[in-house]
A and B are shown apart, each in its own frame.
Chain A
Amino acid sequence: MKEDSLWTNIFRKQSSEETDTLNVLKKIPLFQDLSRRELRQLERILHQRTYKQNEVIFNEGQPGVGMYIIDSGEVHITLGPEKKVLAVLTKGDFFGEMALLLEAPRTASAIAAKPTKLYGFFQPDLFSILETFPRTGNKILLRLSQMIAERLRHSNLENQELRKKLNSLTKREH
Chain B
Amino acid sequence: MDVTVNRFLKILLAILFLAALIWVLIKLSNIITIFIIGALLAYILDPITSFLEYKGLTRMQATSLVFLALALFLFLFIYFFVPLVIDQVKVIQHSFSSGQGTEAIRRMERALKENIPLLKNANLDITTKINEAINHFSNSLFSLVGSLISLITTLVVIPFVVFFLLKDGRNIKKGLVSIIPNRYFEMTLNLLYKTDQQIGGYLRGQFFDAAIIGFLSIIALWILHVPYFLLIGTFAGLANMVPFVGPLTGAIVAILVVFLSNGTINQMIMVAAAFGIIQLLDNVLVQPLVVAGSVQMHPLIVLFAVIIGGQFWGIMGMFLAVPAAAVIKVLVVELYKMYLSFNTSS
Q: Do A and B bind each other?
A: yes
Across-interface contacts of A63 in B (CB, < 8 A): 190, 338, 341-342, 345
Across-interface contacts of B225 in A (CB, < 8 A): none
- Is there contact, CB below 8 Å, between B186 and A65? yes
Across-interface contacts of B193 in A (CB, < 8 A): 123-124, 127
Residues of A bordering B, CB below 8 Å: 47-49, 51, 55-66, 105, 120, 122-124, 127, 131-134
Contact check: which of A60, A66, A127, A132 meets B186 at CB < 8 Å? A66
- Is there contact, CB below 8 Å, between A59 and B186? no
Across-interface contacts of A132 in B (CB, < 8 A): 50, 53-54
With CB as the reference atom, state the residue of chain B lying closest to A61.
Answer: B345
A5 CA to B194 CA in the complex, in Å?
Answer: 46
Across-interface contacts of A47 in B (CB, < 8 A): 174, 177-178, 185, 189
Give me 19 A-to-B residue pairs in the complex whose CB atoms sit less than 8 angstroms apart, sorted by A's number: A47-B174, A56-B183, A57-B182, A58-B186, A59-B345, A61-B345, A62-B342, A62-B345, A63-B190, A63-B341, A65-B190, A105-B341, A105-B345, A120-B185, A123-B193, A127-B193, A131-B50, A132-B50, A132-B53
Q: Is B264 an interface residue (CB 8 A)?
A: no
Across-interface contacts of A59 in B (CB, < 8 A): 345-346
Near A by CB (< 8 A), chain B positions 317-346 give 338, 341-342, 345-346
Across-interface contacts of A55 in B (CB, < 8 A): 182
Contact check: which of A51, A66, A122, A131 meets B54 at CB < 8 Å? A131
- Chain B at the A interface: mostly helix, strand, loop or mixed? helix
A63 CA to B182 CA in the complex, in Å?
Answer: 15
- From residue A125, how far is it (CB to closest CB) to chain B in Å? 9
- From residue A31, how far is it (CB to closest CB) to chain B in Å? 19
A120 CA to B338 CA in the complex, in Å?
Answer: 20
Across-interface contacts of A61 in B (CB, < 8 A): 345-346
Contact check: which of B50, B178, B186 meets A122 at CB < 8 Å? B186
A123 CA to B194 CA in the complex, in Å?
Answer: 11
- Is there contact, CB below 8 Å, between B54 and A64? no
Best-surrounded residue of A55, A127, A131, A134 (most CB of chain B within 10 A): A131
Across-interface contacts of A58 in B (CB, < 8 A): 186
- From residue B215, how far is it (CB to closest CB) to chain A in Å? 28
Near A by CB (< 8 A), chain B positions 13-64 give 50, 53-54
Best-surrounded residue of B178, B186, B338, B346 (most CB of chain A within 10 A): B186
- From residue A132, how far is it (CB to closest CB) to chain B in Å? 5
A56 CA to B192 CA in the complex, in Å?
Answer: 22
Across-interface contacts of B183 in A (CB, < 8 A): 56
Across-interface contacts of B342 in A (CB, < 8 A): 62-63
- Is there contact, CB below 8 Å, between A49 and B190? no
- Is there contact, CB below 8 Å, between B186 and A64? yes
Across-interface contacts of B189 in A (CB, < 8 A): 47, 65, 120, 122, 124
Across-interface contacts of B345 in A (CB, < 8 A): 59-63, 105
- From residue A112, how far is it (CB to closest CB) to chain B in Å? 9
Across-interface contacts of A124 in B (CB, < 8 A): 189-190, 192-193
Across-interface contacts of A127 in B (CB, < 8 A): 193
Across-interface contacts of B178 in A (CB, < 8 A): 47-49
A64 CA to B186 CA in the complex, in Å?
Answer: 8
Across-interface contacts of A60 in B (CB, < 8 A): 345
With CB as the reference atom, state the residue of chain A lying closest to B50.
Answer: A132
